[in-house]
Amino acid sequence: MLSFPYRIRFLLAFDPALCSAVLGIFVRTILKWLSERAAAAGALGCNSGAVVLAQRFGGALNLYLHFHALVLDDVYASERPFAPPRFQPARELTDQDVVHVTGLLVRRIVRYLQRRGRLPREEHVELDEPAPDEPLLALISAASVEGRIELGP
């Protein structure tokens, strides 16, 4: 599962193209890392696979965007282009592996959002909030993220 800070949740919730791009970064980063890990262990022509979905809301209609992923932590290797793939078991994931991949994801996603002008490059710079198509939904979602009631008791 990949969860985001509230500000990024808000950005992704109201921009489907941005959400899709970040989802692509998530999947490509994990699959590439698995391939490189298997290649370092001697496997050639490695591929893995994943099924991913974006969960958009939690229990109390709070903005709860995060990605759930089922990822093969093993790979299928094929030494020639049309040869049948062979299952290649991988060594167990370690806590250090998870920390490493999480660091890659943070750097790549933040860098992408900064290049797109959706996150400031420096901490003291604030960008305007996105202008979503549904202002009331944006207002309610922002209140939910901040843990406050927007429309009354």
- Quick: pLDDT tens for 101-145: 999 999 999 999 999 999 888 744 444 454 555 566 666 666 666
pLDDT computed for residue 105 by the predictor = 95
Please work out, in degrees rounded to the nearest 5, the angle formed at the alpha carbon of residue 100 by the alpha carbons of 39 and 18. Answer: 95
pLDDT tens digit sequence for 45-81: 888 899 998 887 665 555 668 899 999 888 898 878 8
Side-chain-side CA neighbours of residue 32 (13 Å): 9
CA distance 67 to 22: 10
